[in-house]
Structure 1
Amino acid sequence: MWKLKLVQCFAILGIVYADTSTEVFQFPISLKAVKGTNVTFHCSIPLPRDDSKVTFNWWREGEYTYLSTATDHRKLFGSKSKFSGFIHINNVRFQDAGIYHCAVQQYGYTIGNQVGSNLTVWVPPTQVKIRPRESPRGSSLSLVCEASAFYPDIIAFEWYKDGIGISTKTSVMKQRNSDGLYQARSFWEEKQAAASGSVYSCLVSHITLENPLAVTHVITYSNAGSQSSRFLMISVCIGYGLICLLFIVLIWKRHQLKDLHCCTIDLVASQPGIATANPKTVRNYEES
Structure 2
Amino acid sequence: MIGEVAKDFGLYTKITGGQRIDLFGARMEQLPAIWKRLVDAGFESGHAYGKSLRTVKSCVGSTWCRYGVQDSTSMAIGLELRYRGLRSPHKLKLGVSGCARECAEARGKDAGIIATENGWNLYVGGNGGFTPRHAVLLAEDLDDETLVRTIDRFFMYYIRTADRLQRTAAWLQEIEGGLDHVRAVIMDDSLGIVADLDEAMAVHVAAYRDEWGDVLDDPEKLARFTSFVNAPEAGDDSLAYVMERGQRRPATAQERAAAARGEAVLIGGTTLEVRS
TM-score, normalization: structure 1?
A: 0.17
Q: From the two aligned structures, give the one with the greater strand fraction.
A: 1
Q: Which structure would you say has the larger Rg?
A: 1
Bigger RCO of structures 1 and 2 (CA < 8 A, at least 6 apart)? 2
TM-score, normalization: structure 2?
A: 0.18
Q: From the two aligned structures, give the one with the greater helix fraction.
A: 2
